[in-house]
Chains A and B, each alone.
Chain A
Amino acid sequence: MMSRALVHVPKTATQGGVIAIKTLISHPMETGYRHGDTGARIPRNIINRFTCTYNGEEVFRADLHPAVAANPYITFHTVATETGVLAFTWVADDGETHTELANITVD
């Protein structure tokens, strides 16, 4: 498992309202352009994909490249359509994935 991830989703929202979502995950985002102490190239290992699904339906996706800073922080918006679960998934080059869930109550 990857290290800590933080997501901020409002607990409640009015139906049809646009909510702001903030996400942060700890990851070195190794670019593959750096060399270690021995001069050997440090292999690339970045989070290359981030997705957000709302009750199973994808509402946001990002393709990340080495130019994204370490500990990727992404904020975006979505429409609060119904009460349910938002799932956030980060996928890294080495195959590691991390998923966070957040519940939202819509009235």
Chain B
Amino acid sequence: MMVMMTTMDHGANILGSERARPTRRIVLRGFCALAGGAALGAVAAPQTARATPEEKDAAIKQVTGGATVQKGRVHLDIPPLAENGNTVAMTVKVDSPMTAADYVKAIHVFNEKNPQPDVISFHLGPRAGKADISTRVRLADSQTVTAIAQMSDGTFWSDSADIIVTLAACTEDFIP
């Protein structure tokens, strides 16, 4: 209590003194600028550690080699709202006869807000019988998830789904 009183007195003295006022203001301004800069840095840093929609597109392009991706044939099932981003059930189905002549070669799943745009890739063939795969993924934020299917005839098909994530997967732990 005594310490508090003295510091308060000291503060009052400084405030009371005309000469001390501008100095204190300048010093405070300096601190504010520093703190603000640090806070901005802390807020901005996780953003840089995340993938962006552009990165997702780049990752998709790497898989397709620039080929056109058509909408359809792929069915990406994820819940529209996930309470926990650490485990989100995901199912991908692709319409395909899965015969030796016409089958799904691969399915790639991408996101746009995790640190990396890749989620998982499945490689299958005519022996799969059915292109119907389920797994559980991590999602760092509400976003659009995209699944791309590569067919044996070289065409690419896609489906996207929007998801709202209430509790993000380890957002606070992103590397600055």
- In the complex, 30 of the A-B residue pairs with CB atoms within 8 angstroms, ordered by the A residue number, are A18-B130, A31-B138, A31-B170, A33-B115, A33-B170, A33-B174, A34-B173, A54-B127, A59-B128, A60-B123, A60-B128, A61-B124, A63-B123, A64-B120, A65-B120, A66-B115, A67-B111, A67-B116, A67-B118, A68-B135, A69-B135, A69-B137, A73-B135, A73-B136, A75-B133, A75-B135, A76-B122, A76-B128, A77-B133, A79-B129
Which interface class (under 10, 10 to 19, 20 to 34, 35 or more) fits B?
20 to 34
A69 touching B134 in the complex, CB below 8 Å, given contacts A41-B175, A59-B128, A76-B122: no
Q: Mark A70-99, 1 if CB is under 8 A from B, else 0.
A: 101111111101000000000000000000
Interface residues of A in 1-42 (CB under 8 A from B): 18-19, 31, 33-35, 41
Q: B87: CB under 8 A from chain A?
A: yes
- Listed in ascending order, the chain B residues whose CB lies under 8 Å from chain A are 49, 86-88, 111, 114-116, 118-125, 127-139, 170, 173-175
CB <8 Å contact, A61 and B116: no
10 closest cross-chain pairs (CB), A and B: A18-B129, A79-B129, A69-B136, A77-B130, A63-B121, A61-B123, A67-B119, A34-B173, A65-B118, A69-B87
Which chain B positions have C-beta within 8 A of A102? none
